[in-house]
Each structure stands twice: as C-alpha cells, then as structure tokens.
A and B are shown apart, each in its own frame.
Chain A
C-alpha cells in the first residue's frame, strides 16, 4: 500500500464522544475539544497513521477514518 499519499477523511460522532481527549494524544494537532468537551477535527490533513492511532485508541469508538486513495 502506498504511504504518504493516502488521503483520509476523519470524523467524530458527537453522540459517542465523552471528551476523553485521547485523540489529542495520538494525533496531536488534528483534534481539539470544543466548549462542550466534545472532540472536533481541526486538521483533516494530519497524517493517516496518527489519525488511525487516534481512532484505535478512542475509548468511546467515536472516531471514523475513511481512507480514499
């Protein structure tokens, strides 16, 4: 699989997210927490590997990453 060129689209399910903020640890700069304490995506261009790690580590399974090659 080619690396570096994979474009991903990442989204957070606001209903599931409980604001752990774990995504900010695994994909620094890609997520932030809004005033309701819910994760929001602030950089869709973050690298695919860290986005995948954020998704894998989310305790609420709230993150979806769609990879479009």
Chain B
C-alpha cells in the first residue's frame, strides 16, 4: 500500500496553524500548495488536526453533520464559550434543528428588511463623519463600527452604547496581549462584562413583565417567549448565548470581508470603475467578493473512523475546513484566481452549507451591498494612502487590522 502524502515532509504544512505570524498577511500560497499536492493534509500543531482543502470535501463535511460534529469548533480553542457548546454553532442534530427553528425567523429577508434603512443611515453618518478629513483608517472608523451599530439596532439597544461594544469586541476579536495566557484571561473577563450587559437587559425585561410574542416581539422578546421543540422555554443561559453569538458572528466576518473588498476596489481601478458604472452588478459582485475573501476557518470533530481521499482518520480527530481554499478550487470554479463580478455559476460556500449555513447571511449581504454602494458613490476615487501598508490578520476569521485610505 502506498503512503498517501498528507504534507508530513513539508514543514509549512505539517506545522501549519492559522495563528502563525507568517500567515497573517496571506495564507493563500500555502492553501494552494495543500490543495494541489496533498488535498487532505495534516498539521501536527495542537495535538494534530486534519485540513480539508478541496471544495467537494469541505462541502461534504458541512453536509454530513453526523460524521462531522461541530463541537468543539475552533482549532485551537479561543476561550469564548469553550466550557460548553456555543448555541447553535457548536450544537449537533437533533438539538441543533430545535435551536435553529427558534432563531431562523429572526433572520428572514422579510424580518430584516426594516434594517436596510438603518444600515443606509449608519453608513451615511459614518461616511459624513469621515469625509471632511479627506482620509481615514477604514477598519476602526468604519468596518468595525457599522456591524456593531447594526447589532445594537437589531437588539433595540441605544447607539450611544456603541463605544462600549467597540471596546469589548476589539478585545474579544484581537489578541489583547502578546502573552497567550494573559490574552485568554482578558478575553474571558471581557466576555463576562458583555454577558453582564446582556443579563442586565434581560433582568430589566423581566421587571417590565411578560414578553411580547409573535410579530410584535423584538429579538430578545422572541427568545424569551420561544419554545424549545414545544417542550420548554429557553433558559437565561441559552438566551445569553444566542445574543452573544449574534454579536460575535456578525462582526469580524463582516468587518473582514468589507475591509478586504474595499482594499481590492482601491487597488483595482478597473473593477472599481466597472462597479460604479454598473451598480446593477453589485449583488453578483458581492457574491464574488465573498468567494474570494471567504473569511472563516471552521473546525469539526469526527464522530467515527473514516477515510477521505484514501487518508485514514480516527474518531475524535479534529478537522479544519479550509474555506478560503475550497472557494478557490479549480474543480468547482473556472479560473478561480480571476475575480469576475458576474461569475456564474458561483456556488461559493463562504457562509458554509447545509444545516449550519450562516443564519446572518442575508444581513451580511445587505451590509456589504449597502456599504460598498454608499462608499463608492461618495468616494469614487479613494486610494490606499501613500506610504502606508494594509495590515492583515488570520485566525478563525480572516480580516484587515489596519488600512489607511486617502478619500480622493
């Protein structure tokens, strides 16, 4: 029997983990090498984990929730909710479907529609605040703020609390200290503060009396009045988890794709001018930007022994789904390295697929479409500021840490 190459002799592959300094700017070269030389690869880091790089394999992992458990998800653990499964992201069927049934109606296109006007308003407010100076640092001044404000709107909480949330989420999403243990401690402490804010809000609601139900219920009342499979109400812990994940899942993801898209459009005049001249391409352009910048690297755990492309794996082995790689797989996408704002077919899986498909996908799309449209309308000739470099990062979510723009 011939040994199948899983990258053991390639140090970059066998020692890969997304926190390494050398991949913060761009992991695509190593992803491309994995995909072309050893599509099922193994990293020895954190006790060892598999990496799936082909679209078909990642897609199958998403679909087969029986074999690929979502708990625990991040590789390595990130200190957020690691003592118990995060609802609904780390819950497997059948319970997953029961939570999903509660959360799904909160994220339908119809229900989110009223938020469009608010996203537009926030976008314009932020743009006006920036415009006079003629330059900005896009991540802090725009990409981080917009989804934070949208989250507060969604919860019905005051925009005045945005600065507090910005500070919290900055700590939760970055490494607040160079010492990993200290970082984890700060994150846990910050997590407690955030949950404390949520819990206070829930207590306040309790004092006000019974929750609104049905169409009258806002996000929190919807959860307070929800029934888990017709059996029981949600516990306060469950409600807090749901709010927490909506905050985190919608923040660095949107921030990342929005920033990388703004960077791409700043550095590719032809694409930027095309999109300004043809705003009708916005929807398919956003899909293509999602494909090319698919930011999330989710993890799975095998529930039994299996074999993928001849590589034998054991029960409880961890598997990292290389989404950024899958979305650039030539077996699924023609000319995958070419950005085509009218690409069709484009079955990208930047939002995942199957049972765990990102609940917030419609909201994310609207934020991206509106923000890009308003930005390009107001600043058609913006550029990366001379003498500055765009700084990127890679962890469970890929993004931009710093990007100075000259607004033209």
Binding site for B on A (CB under 8 A): 18-22, 24-26, 32-33, 35-37, 53, 56-61
Contacts and interface: CB of A to CB of B under 8 A. Distances in A.
10 smallest A-B Cβ distances: which pairs? A56-B345, A18-B357, A59-B347, A37-B104, A25-B283, A57-B345, A59-B353, A53-B344, A33-B109, A18-B354
A25 B286 CA distance: 11
Contact of A25 (B107, B284, B347): B284
A40 B104 CA distance: 16
A60 B355 CA distance: 11
Contacts of B105: 35, 37
A67 B105 CA distance: 33
A18 B284 CA distance: 19
B349 interface: yes
B290 to A, nearest CB: 10
A21 B354 contact: no
B303 interface: no
22 contacts: A19-B104, A20-B357, A21-B109, A21-B361, A21-B362, A21-B365, A25-B284, A25-B287, A26-B284, A33-B108, A35-B105, A35-B108, A36-B101, A36-B104, A53-B345, A56-B344, A56-B345, A56-B347, A57-B344, A57-B347, A59-B349, A59-B353
Interface in B329-360: 344-349, 351, 353-355, 357
Most chain B CB neighbours (cut-off 10 Å) among A18, A24, A35: A18
Interface in B279-294: 283-284, 287
Nearest to A59: B347
B344 A59 contact: no
Given A18-B357, A24-B109, A25-B283, A59 B348 contact: yes
Given A33-B109, A35-B105, A19 B357 contact: yes
B296 to A, nearest CB: 15
